[in-house]
Structure 1
């Protein structure tokens, strides 16, 4: 998978959950991104990059 496809897919998943928060029964004002191993790296990459490049979808916590 060529770079940055994985990061873009991870961001798309976070954006999807934020947009359909009520259907998932989650608070759209407090999104949290979490991951382990590669998922942890993706969490950092997505939250850091999206904050600089895509304002509007703010991640409130990282695990």
Structure 2
């Protein structure tokens, strides 16, 4: 009974950390890409990272 509680506690804790890492990472990538698009459109700044990310999306799509 005590062993089951410990296993479920640590299992859920690791799962929550993993899901938080995935969702946080995806949101960071999406928001960063949107920010680069806004900077490129409004200030006409073309950076190397923007070119690199844009080429990656063109290759995948």
TM-score by length of structure 2 reads: 0.36
Q: Return the index of the structure with the highest Cα Rg.
A: 2
TM-score by length of structure 1 reads: 0.36
Higher share of residues assigned strand = 1
Q: Which has the higher contact order (CA 8 A, sep 6+)?
A: 1
